[in-house]
Amino acid sequence: MPRLPHASIGLLGLAATALVAATCRVDAQDAAKLVAFQVAGDAIAEPLDGLRGDAVRGRALVRDRSVGNCLICHRAPEPAERFMGEIGPDLAGIGSRLTPAQIRLRVVDQSLLNAKTVMPPYYRIDGLSRVAERYRGKPVLDAQQVEDVVAYLMSLKS
């Protein structure tokens, strides 16, 4: 499949950030919806809120185009899925390339690693702009969903 020119990637990145599509102001009550986490290097070592992820639920979240919409930008080893993206890295084998802690940080907020990323933060509510009404004041994924996605992605070893 042909690669997109950089201008197209920028436009698709804007479309992806529309998921997380009005300036978002966070008060103390909203911030309480997120559990604290510690970033160390390129990872969040501890599972959010000590939760254990479930790969089956995580697979459903990755495939659900109305929740995380991961497949708009990523290709996954899901033969039944059509129209997967190529903007982000292919998810096949990601469980062999990254640790759970590294995957967790990328799902929580890839911009902590790359300020110019087009990947929206899935577990952040502050400092966002153009946030869709249904996501205002809450993260796209809750802590359990983040851990479920991490569990699924870790199962993708080849």
The correct CATH number of 6-154 out of 1.10.3090.10, 3.30.1360.40, 1.10.760.10, 1.10.10.10 is 1.10.760.10
- Residue 40's φ and ψ, nearest 5 degrees, are -130, 110
Cα distance between residue 85 and residue 71, in whole Å: 6
Helices 100-109 + 143-154 axis angle, to 10:
130
Residue 143: which residues within 8 A CB-CB, separation 6 or more?
Answer: 34, 35, 48, 49, 51, 123
Q: How far apart are CA 135 and CA 46, in angstroms?
A: 25
**Segments making up each domain of the chain, as ranges:** 6-154
Please give the Cα distance from 30 to 21 (Å, whole number).
18
pTM listed for this prediction:
0.80
pLDDT at 33: 77
Q: For the chain, where are the alpha helices, taking DSSP H only?
A: 6-17, 28-31, 55-63, 94-97, 100-109, 143-154
Q: What is the pLDDT along the chain (158 residues), one digit of tens a residue?
A: 444 444 434 433 433 333 333 223 333 344 447 999 999 999 999 999 999 999 999 999 999 999 989 999 999 999 999 999 999 999 999 999 999 999 999 999 999 999 999 999 999 999 998 888 878 899 999 999 999 999 999 999 98
